[in-house]
């Protein structure tokens, strides 16, 4: 009896330990093989300077590694001697996990590939979280449909049920859906994209960080974050300083006295502008600064504008700072005067003084003063 019990115990132990050993061995073997394959592909991508290949490898590592554990568990189940019914369940489970892993890997690959291609070729779908989530969701939805079809689930009836449920959800989430569709419109219109510097009619301005499924994130010049719902942004008047080209034209107003030699003024400003093109970072070298006489004559000065171009909107502040210093220094050297505001005021008083019944006559007094 004791011998029979020991025999049964040994058989039970083997039935338990052998599948576990096979599962551990297969898992370890798959992990080792994947590690060597990953390292070889990483070295190849580095030598070939394939940035996209390296990014793809790093992104799919988290989705393909679980397949090693799935393969080990499946191998352990196959040698466990379980009934055929359990084997069928194991086969379906293995196939389901395989489909899920492949769907996740394809979703990650598609997101990275389209993002990289969009950055290089500037296609109609800019790089935003909304676009990435839409692509990922579409691929995962297709993977779920394939999984359900593999498990012999009737997709047609499920789609009909989902249609009724989707209608109810759409009625309950009108605001959210309006933001989603507004975000899709903003992306597809290509009038606003991530990286652009924009100004909204509400006064908010800054760089577009991301266009999400609900809101657009803007980073102002003072390095804060402003979140605007997509529906409000799509209905606002927006100035995009990156379109049609990132450079912008800037005009600095300059007022000089009426005694100034206009030809000399123009020559001085052009010389300083040409010198600044090669010395001040941010100025557009393809455009030489120009000077323009403003229409009309000022009350106390001649009014000009000094026109130049900068590479990006935010670079105008530093460029204006440098140009104003250079112009003021050069004006002092050349003796060009920047006048103070002057007004001439005439004050006239008429009064009649009566002394002993005799008209003292009229007195008038004129005073001239300057107000600055």
Q: What is the pLDDT of residues 211-264, one digit of tens each?
A: 887 889 999 988 899 999 998 998 899 999 988 889 999 999 999 999 899 999
Residue 360 confidence (pLDDT) above 60: no
Cα–Cα dist 102/143, whole Å: 8
Q: What CA–CA distance (Å, rounded) separates 27 from 19?
A: 12
* For residues 344-369, average pLDDT: 50
Looking up tokens 């002057």 gives: 342
Q: Which of 275 and 183 is assigned the larger pLDDT? A: 275
Confidence category of residue 370, pLDDT binned at 50, 70, 90:
very low
Query: Region 322-330: what's the mean pLDDT?
Result: 94
Fold (CATH) for 248-334: Alpha-Beta Plaits (3.30.70)
Tell me: pLDDT of 175 over 90: no
Q: Is the pLDDT score of 79 beyond 60?
A: yes
Q: 178-225: per-residue pLDDT in tens?
A: 888 888 888 878 888 888 999 999 889 999 998 887 889 999 988 899
Q: For the residues 277-289, what does the mean pLDDT come to?
A: 90
For residue range 117-150, what is the model confidence (pLDDT) as tens digits? 655 555 444 556 666 777 777 888 787 777 777 7
Q: Return the pLDDT at 10.
A: 61
Mean pLDDT, the chain, rounded, equals 77
- Per-residue pLDDT at 98: 77
Question: Which CATH number describes the domain made up of 179-240?
Answer: 2.30.30.60
Confidence check: pLDDT of 361 > 80: no
Name which residue leads in pLDDT, 368 or 47: 47
In this prediction, residue 23 has a pLDDT band, given cuts at 50, 70 and 90, of confident
Rounded (5°) CA angle 251-273-333: 105
Instruction: Please say if the pLDDT value at position 168 is more than 80.
Output: no
Domain boundaries, the chain: 12-153, 179-240, 248-334
């Amino acid at each position: 009896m004791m011998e029979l019990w020991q025999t049964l115990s040994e058989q039970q132990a083997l039935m338990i330990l052998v599948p576990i050993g096979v599962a551990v061995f297969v898992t370890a073997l798959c992990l080792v093989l994947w590690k060597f394959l990953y390292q070889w592909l990483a070295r190849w991508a580095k030598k070939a300077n394939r940035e996209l290949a390296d990014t793809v490898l790093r992104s799919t590592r988290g989705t393909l590694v679980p397949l090693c554990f799935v393969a080990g568990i499946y191998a352990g189940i196959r040698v466990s001697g379980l009934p055929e019914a359990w084997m069928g369940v194991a086969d379906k489970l293995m196939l389901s996990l395989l489909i899920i892993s492949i769907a996740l890997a394809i979703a990650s690959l598609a997101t990275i590939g389209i993002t990289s291609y969009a950055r290089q070729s500037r296609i109609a779908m800019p790089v935003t979280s909304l676009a990435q989530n839409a692509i990922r969701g579409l691929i995962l939805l297709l993977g779920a449909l394939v999984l359900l079809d593999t498990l012999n689930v009737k997709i047609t009836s499920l789609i009909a049920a989902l249609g009724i449920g989707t209608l109810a959800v759409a009625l309950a989430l009108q605001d959210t859906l309006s933001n989603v569709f507004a975000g899709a419109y903003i992306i597809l219109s290509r009038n606003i994209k991530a990286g652009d510097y924009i100004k909204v009619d509400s006064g908010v301005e800054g760089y577009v960080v991301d266009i999400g499924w609900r809101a657009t994130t803007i980073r102002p010049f003072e390095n804060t974050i402003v979140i605007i719902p997509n529906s409000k942004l799509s209905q606002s008047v927006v100035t995009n300083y990156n379109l049609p080209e990132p450079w912008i034209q800037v005009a600095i107003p300059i007022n000089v006295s009426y005694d100034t030699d206009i030809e000399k003024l123009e020559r001085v400003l052009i010389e300083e502008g040409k010198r600044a093109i090669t010395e001040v970072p941010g100025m557009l070298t393809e455009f030489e600064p120009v000077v323009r006489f403003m229409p009309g004559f000022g009350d106390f000065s001649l009014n000009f504008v000094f026109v130049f171009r900068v590479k990006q909107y935010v670079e105008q502040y530093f460029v204006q700072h440098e140009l104003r210093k250079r112009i003021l220094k050069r004006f002092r050297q050349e003796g060009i005067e920047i006048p103070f505001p002057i007004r001439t005021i005439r004050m006239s008083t008429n009064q009649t003084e009566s002394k002993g019944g005799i008209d003292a006559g009229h007195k008038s007094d004129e005073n001239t003063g300057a107000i600055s």
